[in-house]
Structure 1
Amino acid sequence: MLRQLNAVHAPFRLNRPFRISRGVKSVADTIAVEIREGDWTGRGESVPYARYGETVESVLSQIEDIRGEIEAGADRYKLLEIMPAGAARNALDCALWDLEAARDGISVASAIGRDRVEPVATAMTVSLDTPEAMAASAKALSGVPLLKIKVNGDKPLDAIRAVREVAPSPRVIVDPNESWSIEQLSDWQDELVNLRVDLLEQPLPAGEDEVLEGFKRSVPLAADESGHVADDLSWLARRYDYVNIKLDKTGGLTMALAMLAAAEREKIGLMVGCMTSSSLSIAPAIVIAQRCEFIDLDGPTWLAEDREGGLIEDCGVMFPPAPGFWGNL
């Protein structure tokens, strides 16, 4: 049966600025995809990321380039052959998962051997700002189980310390987004222990992390920008203790599941993350979250208005979307 493909730019205004070491954003620029096949429709969403050379225009162009294959019936495994990992493949892959679930009357949760997905404790992000502003943000989140603190290479310990003073209880992920040097990591890591940091995410630039092989660390390290697909796990496991699986990096849930399996084989810990996006991006990721120790899926909480029927966050716990929203979850 022939299909119809539709892909559009779907921006979402944020409810407050989101700052990391690379810059600040006030809008989440997402790509929304629909694939129709007879009476069934599958939806997916992705976020182009400038860090990887992606723009709204380039991702829409990638999708348009394979319109013929998609409308002729290409499946998720064909996408792995004809498209690179990234936002374009992610939107299409997730739309195909949703389409299959609708057509076959199954839940995508069955892909990981479950009847349904359960609520998960997600990190709530404290965006990069002055220590005083970060403390104010953290104070409102002091009762959640997990915080993620965005920092850069300019006095990050002051920011972490300010957050810890008002939020002593949550577990903490610190994320420099590639902004540290190995010397800074070495100098600061003992104080990170004193500040009870549970995980340090991608401190060094991707491509400059070979020095982590054999590095004696005081805090577990997670790969984010360094790890994209399953084949990366063999060398990531020599440098990191965890890998952050993001569907916009892997190019969809299909590769994310392969990456999850590879991480388990390599005995590297599991984390799942997201871009700032709507619940349509997060719904597939909550499937992966069922198997992860660290979960960072608070993207929709930064939106002024999410998609209707999306995931609900309450006190740092993310609940699955309404029935029929995505994947029969």
Structure 2
Amino acid sequence: MRLTLETEALRLAEPFAISGYVFEHVEVMVTTLEEGAHRGRGEAAGVYYLGDDLAHMRAEAEAAREAIEAGLTREDLRSVLPPGGARNAIDAALWELEASREGKPVWQLAGLDEPKPVRTTMTIGADNPEAMARRATGYASAKAIKVKLTGELELDIARVAAIRAARPDVWLGVDGNQGFAIDELDRLIQSLQAHDVALLEQPLRRGREADLEGLSSPIPIAGDESLISLADVAGAVGRFDVVNIKLDKCGGLTEGLLMAAEARRLGLGVMVGTMIATSLGTAPGFLLGQLADLVDLDGPILIAQDREPSVTYEDGMLYAGAQVWGSGAPVRA
């Protein structure tokens, strides 16, 4: 088996702002595993707030190269590499390589039903309320919209109000991206409820999860930055209602499937999210999205140029055909 690592810079269609950060481009690591006539591919952007950048991902992958090229399994990989982008990219390549060997699509190997289109949110980066309302209107086919907040309480409330006025028809969620303090949540939640917001994601800083204990919220609260991998899911009980699984965080589809099963066992909702990604990086999450209550996989929409073949977005729905990734056929360069 031979491992190849490549770097690609993804230019965003326009700057994308969240609490404390503005993205203009993203670097991703693309992995390829080759074994005879069989090839597997994966892509990862890493987790910027954990220092899991391109250099970190490449260093981890190179450190594990000998074990990977010796022919480890996906389960072995969970012990060789920690959760993060490097493991995600290699895990995806192992899934596709196995699919090619077996002549079966990845969804069959994963024990899933044949995948169907899923409703996905379209994300609106933080800006002034008027600009965000225009963006919401521009997503004319969207059935669900997620709004990035910054922790500026009154401005954030105005942002949500403007978007809801522009799009009274959509499911609406907000992402706090760790921008708020616990003493602001009552006011925030009251205002969100008034605008029919259906989800509040990661309002508090990572490490302040215990502050949510005893909080009574009519709006479900999702954990994102607080919940990295399978080891974190049990700690969500009593603090979060929904677990946001991102393959770059947890280390790939193999771990993501385990997280979804554990969340269900504990009575928690399942959400599948993404870092900024091309269709190659999105397709494994699409399969996990078959098991989810909420899907937030709009990464390819945010970049200036996607790969071909690509996932499709139509009438607010996302579909990743097997030709995008994991078809079970030998993959050509």
TM-score with structure 1 length normalisation? Answer: 0.96
Q: Which SS does the other structure have where 2:244 is aligned?
A: strand
Unaligned runs of 5+ in 1: none
2:326 matched to which residue of 1? 327
Q: Percent identity?
A: 37
Q: Which SS does the other structure have where 2:216 is aligned?
A: coil
How many residue pairs get matched? 326
1:147 to 145, 148, 152: 145
Counterpart AA for 2:75: Y
Do residues 177 (structure 1) and 177 (structure 2) align? yes
1:33 matched to which residue of 2? 31
2:248 matched to which residue of 1? 248
Do residues 103 (structure 1) and 98 (structure 2) align? no
Counterpart AA for 1:288: L
2 CA distance for matches of 1:193 and 1:278? 34
Shift of 1:114: 3.1
Contact in 2 for aligned 1:142/1:166 (Cα 8 Å): no
- Residue deviations 1:222-252, cap 9 Å, x none? 0000111122121102201101000001101
2 CA distance for matches of 1:88 and 1:112? 21
Contact in 1 for aligned 2:46/2:249 (Cα 8 Å): no
TM-align CA RMSD? 1.2
Counterpart AA for 1:198: A
1 CA distance for matches of 2:112 and 2:90? 23
Contact in 2 for aligned 1:31/1:60 (Cα 8 Å): yes
- Residue deviations 1:1-37, cap 9 Å, x none? xx11001111111111111112111212111000001
Shift of 1:325: 2.6
2 CA distance for matches of 1:223 and 1:209? 9
Unaligned runs of 5+ in 2: 329-333
1:214 matched to which residue of 2? 214
2 CA distance for matches of 1:131 and 1:224? 24
1:165 matched to which residue of 2? 165
1 CA distance for matches of 2:7 and 2:237? 36
Assess, with a 3 A threshold, how the Cα gap between structure 1 residues 236 and 111 changes in structure 2: closer, same or farther: farther
2 CA distance for matches of 1:109 and 1:39? 21
Q: Which SS does the other structure have where 1:200 is aligned?
A: strand
Q: Which SS does the other structure have where 1:173 is aligned?
A: strand
1 CA distance for matches of 2:58 and 2:234? 32
Shift of 1:49: 2.3
1:306 matched to which residue of 2? 306
Q: Which SS does the other structure have where 1:73 is aligned?
A: coil
1:315 matched to which residue of 2? 315
Shift of 1:261: 0.8
After the TM superposition, which residues 10-49 of structure 1 pair with which residues of structure 2 at under 5 Å, given as runs? 10-49=8-47
Counterpart AA for 2:137: K
Q: Which SS does the other structure have where 2:313 is aligned?
A: strand
Contact in 1 for aligned 2:105/2:327 (Cα 8 Å): yes
2:266 matched to which residue of 1? 266
Contact in 2 for aligned 1:107/1:116 (Cα 8 Å): no
After the TM superposition, which residues 273-288 of structure 1 pair with which residues of structure 2 at under 5 Å, given as runs? 273-288=273-288
2 CA distance for matches of 1:56 and 1:100? 26
2:331 matched to which residue of 1? none
2 CA distance for matches of 1:259 and 1:138? 32
2 CA distance for matches of 1:15 and 1:218? 36
After the TM superposition, which residues 290-305 of structure 1 pair with which residues of structure 2 at under 5 Å, given as runs? 290-305=290-305
After the TM superposition, which residues 5-84 of structure 1 pair with which residues of structure 2 at under 5 Å, given as runs? 5-84=3-82
Assess, with a 3 A threshold, how the Cα gap between structure 1 residues 111 and 216 changes in structure 2: closer, same or farther: farther
2 CA distance for matches of 1:254 and 1:113? 12
Shift of 1:50: 2.0
Shift of 1:313: 1.0
TM-score with structure 2 length normalisation? Answer: 0.95
